[in-house]
Amino acid sequence: MMSSMYSGISGLNACTQRMAVIGDNIANVNTTGYKSSELSFENLINQSVGGFTGQEVGSGVLTGDLRYDWQQGTIQRTSSSYDMAIAGNGFFMVSDGNKTYYTRDGEFKFDSSGNLQTSDGMAVQGVNLLINTPVPSSPVPTEAVVIDMTTYQDILVDDNGVYSAYNKTSGLREDLFQIAICDTTDSSVMAKSNGNLYIKTTEGDMDPIDVPGTTTGFAVETSSLEMSNVDIAKEFVNMITAQRAFSANSKVITTSDEILQELVNIKR
């Protein structure tokens, strides 16, 4: 009886954690660039019937890996010419001055000093075209996108993520920066952080780092943002399933308790 109660308790814990993941997905259904999560489960074995291998009895459930769904979200047009969405794989690189983060959220803007920033004020990384022309294929040197507003005006960005502006002195439009995009062959090294950001869980550079419109296949869409890839219908189905499983595990605990009570009454 105690074993069945422990199994039921482990089931309640697993259902609670699954509901937390489902709730997080539903809460972020409108979050730009959000990737939905899914929790996996593993069975727990700790005893055998009669001591024979191959005749084990389960003792409940354990939570396994939390996996991200990297499927492309819907790309939606916006009114800001500096917004940018990645079409396909890859991440934008942003920095807080100390550490590099990765994101699919391309809601960018220039401040009054010409710094390209995220909505949270992080510096967006790109390739300086005044120094690197043409852009080298490997390695790609990156730095914060900063345009000197005392020298340039009227900043535009094209479909390859190239930022250009008019030189106030020459009166000519010059290509100044190009957005940098990186990717990894092992998505399991990416972990979610606050503010639509990802961090690496292992050391080493992201590979490759390049710019849109090259042979690597990276592409961007300007005046656009990638929406969340949460399937709300699927999440509601998962929520109902988790609720029913929680109720069933509660019943296991209640029934086991009643049987134990009957055993106590027999002794009396």
Q: Is the dihedral of CA 97, 223, 37, 15 positive or negative?
A: positive
* Same-domain pairing of 196 and 233: no
pLDDT at 236: 97
The percentage of the chain sitting over the pLDDT mark of 70, rounded to a whole number, equals 88
Does residue 77 lie in a domain region?
A: no
Does residue 31 lie in a domain region?
A: yes
Does residue 79 lie in a domain region?
A: no
Tell the residue number behind the tokens 């340039």, with chain if given: 152
Cβ neighbourhood burial of 135 (10 Å; 0-12, 13-18, 19+): middle
pLDDT value at 268 more than 80: no
Q: How far apart are CA 139 and CA 200, in angstroms?
A: 19
* Same-domain pairing of 184 and 254: no
* Same-domain pairing of 218 and 237: no
Cβ neighbourhood burial of 64 (10 Å; 0-12, 13-18, 19+): exposed
* Same-domain pairing of 157 and 209: yes
Number of folded domains that form the chain: 2
* Same-domain pairing of 209 and 117: yes
Mean pLDDT of the chain: 88
Full domain range(s) for residue 263 = 2-70+229-267
Render pLDDT for 214-257 as a digit per residue (tens, 0 to 9). 666 689 999 999 999 999 999 999 999 999 999 999 999 898 88
* Same-domain pairing of 180 and 240: no
Q: How far apart are CA 225 and CA 211, in angstroms?
A: 18
pLDDT at 43: 83
Q: For residues 124-129, give the mean pLDDT.
A: 93
Render pLDDT for 77-87 as a digit per residue (tens, 0 to 9). 999 999 999 99
* Same-domain pairing of 132 and 205: yes
Does residue 81 lie in a domain region?
A: no
Residue 17 — very low, low, confident or very high, per pLDDT cuts 50/70/90?
A: very high
* Same-domain pairing of 191 and 233: no
Residue 107 — very low, low, confident or very high, per pLDDT cuts 50/70/90?
A: very high
